[in-house]
Amino acid sequence: MMKRYPFLFNFDVRNKFFSSTAFGPASRNLGMSAVASLARRDDPTGLHDLIQLGRLRHERVKVPRDDATLLDWAVNVLDVHAEKKSILEVEFMGEEGTGLGPTLEFYSLVAAELQRKDLAMWLVDDNFTHKPRDKSDHYVQRPGGLFPAPLPQDNIDEVVGLFGFLGTLLAKCLQDSRLIDLPLSTSFIKLICRESPICPQSQVGISKLVALSDERDEIMNNGSLSDAEKTHKVEGLLLDYNGTKCKVEDLGGLNFFLFSFTSYPLVEGGERVDLTLQNARQYVDLTINFYFELGLRKQMAAFRDGFNRVFPITNLLSFTKDELHLKLCGDQTPQWTRDDVIAYTEPKLGFTKDSTGFLHFVNVMCDLSGSERKSFLQFATGCSSLPPGGLANLSPHLTIVKKVNVDSGDGSYPSVNTCVHYLKLPDYSSEAILKERLLAATREKGFHLN
């Protein structure tokens, strides 16, 4: 019922069912008495007991905080733990932090590494002809999110292996209820769900080529025109290519090779088949098929194999693409209002809802830009995204306490116990100082006693 008719159940019920059943029974010693208790509870769905049956044990690993080797460590760690019915907790060597905070930091760092351009996993909007301006320029940044780069299917073993790892990583995040800061595109989520994605027709003027081909077909099918008139009108059709009006045949060098590749023929002998208005539609169809089928076949097969090592990917069928995106990546553009911050943040140990220091904090939170909000969440929770439902569903809720020690004046900085979302905030004399010190703290890295 959940897989075939998911519309019959709201998201909360489907999500509880998924959490309770997707990963198999983890507690083998409960026996039939626990199962029999399903009939004795007042819960008509029985989901409460199923959750108890599905609890997983925790296993801890240590990794170095080293950009050069982090991805290799992550691949090895996930390879060992993929098929274990346990929750993975990560610590960084030489650091004091344990539990949820370092674990989410690990997933965040791995997510950043997977977005490197040099891995050749994702479509990019540049052609690598310029020298990277800074470190951020080494990462794929696309407005629509990450989508796999379609590639000729020979000699891509390294990329295929990375997609296998990605499948295992995302499945492990779902199993362990971890969010990962990976801006996946809706089209890629559709591929994961085995739906037909939306064609990115902005690719190198494909949409213009389709429109011109359709206009030619309309002219040729116009019975009121003579053959000579049809020929004259078709010869007058021009393509706007990189700001220049020209005939398709005059583009020069465009044939049945795929855009962005110099060695992949779309048809046998494609290098000898010139692109014209007559065959433009065939060219577009073959290109789209390469982008979403032929050029992704090995990558998506490896992704599903890697995912299935943790739990069957078919268990995702009860979720829509938008729901699955939220479950995996959380809210990539975190939003909150003043009422949200007051309602879902708990002031304690020196602060109350009416404290000047706490109200300064509320005002600063509402004044943060989108990137600053993500930085704050990364600092305070270990993940730069919010779960579905925003601050209301952050578990545990953010707690704010007054930081009291000899160095807790305007010159000191906030500190945090990330695992329990516990922010220790000096009682600053102004909002401006609070914001400056808070943002400075978010730029620090590492888990140490504070």
Q: Which residue has the higher pLDDT, 126 or 203?
A: 126
Answer yes or no: is pLDDT of 201 > 60: no
Q: What is the pLDDT of residue 35?
A: 42
Percent of the chain with pLDDT over 70: 80
Q: How far apart are CA 133 and CA 438, in angstroms?
A: 28
Q: Is residue 310's pLDDT more than 80?
A: yes
- Tokens standing for residue 232: 């004259």
How does pLDDT run across 19-54, given as a tens digit for each residue? 888 886 653 434 334 444 444 445 555 555 544 444
Return the number of other C-beta atoms located less than 10 Å from residue 170's C-beta. 25
CA-CA distance, 241 to 212, in Å (whole number)?
12
Cβ–Cβ contacts within 10 Å for residue 187, how many? Answer: 22
pLDDT at 139 over 80: yes
Closest by Cα among 235, 233, 211 to 222? 233
pLDDT of res. 181: 84
Answer yes or no: is pLDDT of 356 > 60: yes
C-alpha 258: how far from its chain's center? 28
Bridge partner residues of 389 (DSSP): none
State the DSSP code for 149: P
Give residue 191's Cα distance to chain centre. Answer: 14
| pTM of the predicted structure, to 2 decimals | 0.70
Give 199's pLDDT tier (boundaries 50, 70, 90).
very low
Report pLDDT for 36.
43
Most confident of 41-45, 181-185, 202-206: 181-185
What CA–CA distance (Å, rounded) separates 341 from 119?
Answer: 39
Mean pLDDT within 310-316: 92
Q: Which residue has the tokens 């992550």?
A: 74
Highest mean pLDDT among 230-239, 323-332, 373-382, 426-435: 426-435
pLDDT value of residue 203 = 46
Give the DSSP letter of residue 273.
S
Has residue 267 got a pLDDT over 60? yes
Task: Using pLDDT thresholds of 50, 70 and 90, give the confidence band for residue 262.
Answer: low
Mean pLDDT of all residues in 255-270: 65
Sign for the pseudo-dihedral over CA of 79, 82, 86, 92: positive
Whether residue 312 has a cis bond before it, omega within 30° of 0 = no
Domains and CATH numbers, the chain: 6-199+296-329 (3.90.1750.10), 204-291 (no CATH), 338-442 (3.30.2410.10)
Q: Which of 165-169, 429-433, 443-447 has the lowest mean pLDDT?
A: 443-447
Q: Tell me how far the alpha carbon of residue 392 is from its chain's centroid.
A: 21
CA 75 – CA 227 distance, rounded (Å): 63
Contact 357, 428 (CB under 8 A): yes
Tell me which H or E stretch contains 59. strand 57-63
Alpha helices of 259-355 — where are they, by DSSP H?
280-292, 297-308, 321-329, 338-344
- Residue 383, class by beta-carbon neighbours within 10 Å (0-12 exposed, 13-18 middle, 19+ buried)? buried
Task: List active site positions.
Answer: 419
